[in-house]
Structure 1
Amino acid sequence: MSLIKRNQGFVPSLTDYFENLMGRNIFDMESGLKASLPACNVKETDKTFEVELAVPGMKKEDFDIHIENNMLSISCEKKEEHTDENRRGRYTRREFSYSSFRRTFSLPASADADKIDASYKNGMLDISIKKKEGEANDGAKRIDIH
């Protein structure tokens, strides 16, 4: 294994293909999921729960965020097709791009599902969920022994 990645040019060699294929565990489903799910941070403050997702290259219209049965669901779908309409003849290259994901989070009882804000800026999707007022937010409860 080399720390410096060499320039492969336009066509990677067959050896590189098999090294990349064999370098990962094909039975490890989690490694495949990590590649398709965006990185996510979940943070709790005194008044809110904050969810941050790193999703560069999207538009805010690509996202669908909703709550159902106390579950926060974040999904995104992006389709692109790069073509040159003015060229005559057969295609020698035509590129399609499709990406999607769905992340679902169970909201704690202290989260107020009616007070959620979301923003998308510089490749970061930020979701802020306010906590319910007047409730114990730590979820701790003392059990008396009888």
Structure 2
Amino acid sequence: MTLVKFNPNLNNKKAGLMPGLNDVFDSIFNDTFFSDRMMSRVPAANISESKDHYHVELAAPGLKKEDFKLSLERDLLNISVEQTSQNEATERNFKKREFSYNSFVRSFTLPDSADENGIEAKYENGVLCINIPKREEAKVQSRQIEIK
């Protein structure tokens, strides 16, 4: 049996058997190019609720409203974009290119209290806003209660 000393105060790069190899893996997996690409594959979404509606906001700048396709299958709201990228001859060579959504699909499960027939969507200032009305029985009703 071999005992190996472990010192938590040492830097993790020095604690490995091959410090140079750890540097290579750190540079690959901690590179902002890879982490940024993983985060930017689908646009970020905000979901909120008001008294009468549910709201979905999808941040997708640089697109047109014609690029979006919204579909509803049972209680699943699908938002998709399919863009064809056109390779134009330019004089610029990109070192890093972050904003390009070629295609993506986001799906949201609607609650039972949502009224599928009244869904409205608009796209302005790079944000797709979807308003989903609540059914009448699901709306919060408030009233004053008399104290006797």
TM over 0.5: yes
CA distance in 2, matches of 1:124, 1:53: 6
Deviation beyond 4 Å, 4+ runs, structure 1: 17-20, 30-33, 91-95
CA distance in 2, matches of 1:132, 1:122: 29
**Residue 21 (structure 2) pairs with residue 36 (structure 1):** no
Alignment of structure 1 residues 98-113 onto 2, 5 Å:
99-113=102-116
Counterpart pick for 1:135 among 130, 133, 138:
138
How many Å apart are 1:135 and its aligned residue? 3.4
Counterpart pick for 1:74 among 68, 74, 79:
79
How many Å apart are 1:112 and its aligned residue? 0.2
CA distance in 2, matches of 1:77, 1:20: 33
CA distance in 2, matches of 1:106, 1:50: 13
- Secondary structure of the residue aligned to 1:36 is coil
TM-score, scaled to structure 1? 0.63
**Residue 127 (structure 2) pairs with residue 124 (structure 1):** yes
Q: Identity over aligned residues, as a percent?
A: 39
The number of aligned residues is 109
Closer/same/farther in 2, CA of residues 37 and 131 from structure 1, 3 Å limit: same
Deviations 1:77-97 (A, max 9, x none): 12231435xxxxxx99999x7
How many Å apart are 1:66 and its aligned residue? 0.9
Is contact 1:79-1:98 (8 Å) kept? no
CA distance in 2, matches of 1:117, 1:64: 13
Higher strand share: 1
Could you list the runs of 5+ residues in structure 2 that have no partner in the other structure? 1-23, 95-99, 141-148
CA distance in 2, matches of 1:43, 1:107: 12
Counterpart pick for 1:114 among 113, 117, 136:
117
Counterpart pick for 2:62 among 57, 64, 77:
57
Is contact 1:83-1:94 (8 Å) kept? no
- Secondary structure of the residue aligned to 1:114 is helix
Higher helix share: 2
Closer/same/farther in 2, CA of residues 34 and 135 from structure 1, 3 Å limit: same
